[in-house]
Chains A and B, each alone.
Chain A
Amino acid sequence: MSNEVLADYDIAQCKADAFYDQYDRKGELQHQTHYCPGCGHGNISKMLASAIDDLGIQDRTILINPVGCSVFGYYYFDVGNVQAAHGRAPAVATAVKRSRPHSIVVSYQGDGDLSAIGSAEILHAANRGENITAIFVNNATYSMTGGQAGPTTLIGQRSTTTPNGRSAANEGYPLRVSELLSTLAAPVYIERVGLGNNKQIAQAARAIRRAVENQVRGLGFSLIEILSPCPTIWKMTPVEAQHWVRDVMERTYPLGVFCDRTKEVEPRNVDLPKPALSEIPALLEIADTVQLAGEIPGVPSVVDLHIRVAGFGGQGVLLLGEVLAEAGLNAGLEVSWLPSYGPEMRSGTSNCHVRLSHSPIDSPMVSSPNVLIAMNEPSLRKFSATVRPGGWILYNGDAVPQECLQNDIHSLALPFTHLADELGDSRITNMLMLGALLEITGVLPQAHVDSALSSLVKSARFLSLDRSALQQGRSLYRERQKAMLLAE
């Protein structure tokens, strides 16, 4: 073909601008998609990309890539991309659309993703009438995982999990998603198309473009279901697979428009007035947490405690943390309390993260504490290395092993459980240790601790035991300090 001849021709159809020139994926195949020869995904991606080009929306399109063969959309589409957990694409699309209402959000999902694990998400996104576009690629099988039966598998269709063919008695009936969703009041446009022959393919391209255009016009939820060949899993040639779409699949999944309200609905106004960020605390009737806690009587001017409390379930680990956080809250500090425990009610491990601070708390996670309360030896061994230099370890045992005391860490090791037993109940070990912690840090006035305790402990007997344990814990620390001073 000489240039002279070409000069009289224009390009009519070519690779869409919405695709990357090169696909940044592994290996040398950066100029090809990963789809098998004859896979309908390629056609559908091309139709979507052409629609994006034609509507001039490439810079504001966000594609949601779910799990399945469709996941690699982010390698191909030069648009915004978010990868979603299996089936959750319509929920992610909702969040993206609502937080960026001017973006064009397309949820591109297969049938395993949309109609099985994600059936709840698509149903509710459609029912809310989210202004998004769902592209539903139906090939009647779980292809990426090797051809298991899915909700869309046809009656009689063989798969690795229905080796004798799907039977209605055992696996139920094929799920007709388009018909199902069109019973809802909110969706604006639902159409099923196929890739079974030239006519169907041309119609599919028009339908996909229309579904995207509906969103651009602000009309609401559109879904296009595409009956798409999977030659590899169907064990057919690409041409046979195309025939199977129109000769077999179409009998279960008739093509057509199931819902079209595009002429009735009013375009949405995406520019509704929003409250300023500063007005939100007042609207929600909550305190403006951005304000720093000022001077608090009885509390040091700088408090920044990162406390980790750990032990076994039943030792009162979580209650200790709760009393501390509640007392801090009463005193006017910023606090957080994050419990972390196994499913066992007893004998499992248990720990909690507590933060007390004058400034707003960025994260409730305490990965490097400045105070560790270890209520047993495994907890000590597990967390001692995480304590910050100059921090404290309070240990329920006779002595902290030397290897657990690096970086100038202070420690108070006492057989708190024995001492609690002497006071009347081993279950107040936690309050003895809390008393010692309060005395060491000096951050909270006793009155706030008392009121926190009485709101959290309902039994009168334990309330009085806990109160005396707190006092006893304080004096245990003071006595230890006195003994150390005398020793020097």
Chain B
Amino acid sequence: MADAENRDRGQLRLSEDECKGCGLCVEACAFKVISLSEGLNHYGYRTAMYAGAGCSGCGICFLACPEPGAITVLRLRGTAAAHGRGRVISIPGAA
């Protein structure tokens, strides 16, 4: 179990199927935790990938991304975001 003190405030879920590889999220991210894949997806795009750590949960990549469902931003419960006015929705099944 991860140490609560060192946990990232944010997490990202990026959809390889919906991403068109425009790279605007890579440009938007202040913490540089998103990059484009080396390989191509089914449609021939290099898609956005999360580094796996370092996300602040600010949500600017979500606003910069033109695709409705390509990015989902998660935020550690009980923390406020630096940017954005995100809606907080509980994950079904989560405690």
Set of chain B residues within 8 Å of A1, measured between Cβ atoms: 11
Is A12 in contact with B74, judged by CB distance below 8 angstroms?
Answer: yes
Set of chain A residues within 8 Å of B94, measured between Cβ atoms: 6-7, 9
Compute how far the CA of A15 lies from the CA of B17 in the bound complex, rounded to whole angstroms. Answer: 14
Set of chain A residues within 8 Å of B28, measured between Cβ atoms: 198, 201
Set of chain A residues within 8 Å of B83, measured between Cβ atoms: 198, 202
Is A9 in contact with B76, judged by CB distance below 8 angstroms?
Answer: yes
Is B91 in contact with A198, judged by CB distance below 8 angstroms?
Answer: no
Using a CB-CB cutoff of 8 Å, which residues 20-69 of chain B contact chain A?
20-24, 27-28, 30, 43, 45, 57, 59-60, 62-69
Other A-B pairs, 12, CB within 8 Å; known A9-B76, A43-B66:
A12-B73, A12-B86, A14-B73, A16-B68, A19-B68, A33-B67, A38-B22, A42-B66, A49-B68, A76-B68, A198-B83, A202-B84
Q: Does A45 contact B (CB under 8 A)?
A: yes
Q: Does A10 contact B (CB under 8 A)?
A: yes
Set of chain A residues within 8 Å of B45, measured between Cβ atoms: 37
Q: Does A238 contact B (CB under 8 A)?
A: yes
Using a CB-CB cutoff of 8 Å, which residues 44-77 of chain A contact chain B?
45-47, 49-50, 53-54, 76
Compute how far the CA of A76 lies from the CA of B68 in the bound complex, rounded to whole angstroms. Answer: 9
In the complex, the 8 A-B pairs of residues with the closest C-beta atoms, listed nearest first: A42-B66, A12-B86, A15-B69, A38-B22, A37-B22, A13-B62, A37-B20, A13-B73
Asked, given contacts A15-B68, A19-B69, whether A9 binds B24 with beta carbons under 8 Å apart, the answer is: no
Compute how far the CA of A54 lies from the CA of B95 in the bound complex, rounded to whole angstroms. Answer: 25
Tell which of A8, A19, A43, A237 has the most Cβ of chain B within 10 Å.
A8
Residue of B nearest to A53 (CB): B87
Residue of B nearest to A15 (CB): B69
A235 to chain B, nearest CB (A): 15
Compute how far the CA of A49 lies from the CA of B87 in the bound complex, rounded to whole angstroms. Answer: 13
Set of chain B residues within 8 Å of A36, measured between Cβ atoms: 20
Is B68 in contact with A42, judged by CB distance below 8 angstroms?
Answer: yes
Asked, given contacts A11-B72, A38-B24, whether A46 binds B66 with beta carbons under 8 Å apart, the answer is: yes
Asked, given contacts A32-B20, A43-B63, A238-B24, whether A12 binds B88 with beta carbons under 8 Å apart, the answer is: yes
Asked, given contacts A8-B7, A15-B69, A31-B69, whether A242 binds B24 with beta carbons under 8 Å apart, the answer is: yes
Compute how far the CA of A45 lies from the CA of B57 in the bound complex, rounded to whole angstroms. Answer: 22
Interchain residue pairs with CB less than 8 A apart (22)? A6-B11, A6-B74, A7-B91, A7-B94, A10-B89, A11-B90, A12-B73, A12-B87, A13-B63, A13-B71, A19-B68, A32-B18, A33-B67, A37-B21, A38-B22, A42-B66, A42-B68, A45-B68, A46-B63, A46-B68, A238-B24, A239-B23
Set of chain A residues within 8 Å of B66, measured between Cβ atoms: 33, 35, 37-43, 46
Is A42 in contact with B67, judged by CB distance below 8 angstroms?
Answer: yes
Set of chain B residues within 8 Å of A12, measured between Cβ atoms: 10, 57, 59, 73-75, 81, 84, 86-88
Is B60 in contact with A202, judged by CB distance below 8 angstroms?
Answer: yes
Interface size on A, residues (CB 8 A): 45
Compute how far the CA of A19 lies from the CA of B67 in the bound complex, rounded to whole angstroms. Answer: 11
Q: Does A5 contact B (CB under 8 A)?
A: yes
Set of chain A residues within 8 Å of B68, measured between Cβ atoms: 15-16, 19, 33, 42, 45-46, 49, 76
Interface size class of B (residues with CB under 8 A): 35 or more
User: Residues of B with Cβ closer than 8 Å to A?
Assistant: 1-2, 4, 7, 10-11, 17-18, 20-24, 27-28, 30, 43, 45, 57, 59-60, 62-69, 71-77, 81, 83-91, 94-95
Is A10 in contact with B91, judged by CB distance below 8 angstroms?
Answer: yes
Set of chain A residues within 8 Å of B67, measured between Cβ atoms: 32-33, 42
Compute how far the CA of A19 lies from the CA of B70 in the bound complex, rounded to whole angstroms. Answer: 13
Residue of B nearest to A238 (CB): B22
Q: Does A362 contact B (CB under 8 A)?
A: no
Set of chain A residues within 8 Å of B10, measured between Cβ atoms: 12
B72 contacts which of A5, A13, A39, A40 (Cβ < 8 Å)? A13
Residue of A nearest to B59 (CB): A13
Q: Does A465 contact B (CB under 8 A)?
A: no
A157 to chain B, nearest CB (A): 22
Set of chain B residues within 8 Å of A237, measured between Cβ atoms: 23
Q: Does A319 contact B (CB under 8 A)?
A: no
Tell which of B21, B43, B85 has the most Cβ of chain A within 10 Å.
B85
Q: Does A205 contact B (CB under 8 A)?
A: yes
Compute how far the CA of A400 lies from the CA of B72 in the bound complex, rounded to whole angstroms. Answer: 75
Residue of A nearest to B74 (CB): A9
Compute how far the CA of A19 lies from the CA of B66 in the bound complex, rounded to whole angstroms. Answer: 13
Q: Does A488 contact B (CB under 8 A)?
A: no
A246 to chain B, nearest CB (A): 12
Compute how far the CA of A205 lies from the CA of B69 in the bound complex, rounded to whole angstroms. Answer: 17
B35 to chain A, nearest CB (A): 14
A55 to chain B, nearest CB (A): 12
Is B72 in contact with A8, judged by CB distance below 8 angstroms?
Answer: no
Compute how far the CA of A13 lies from the CA of B85 in the bound complex, rounded to whole angstroms. Answer: 9
Residue of A nearest to B60 (CB): A198
Set of chain A residues within 8 Å of B21, measured between Cβ atoms: 37
A245 to chain B, nearest CB (A): 12
Is B23 in contact with A54, judged by CB distance below 8 angstroms?
Answer: no
A38 to chain B, nearest CB (A): 4
B42 to chain A, nearest CB (A): 9
Q: Does A4 contact B (CB under 8 A)?
A: yes
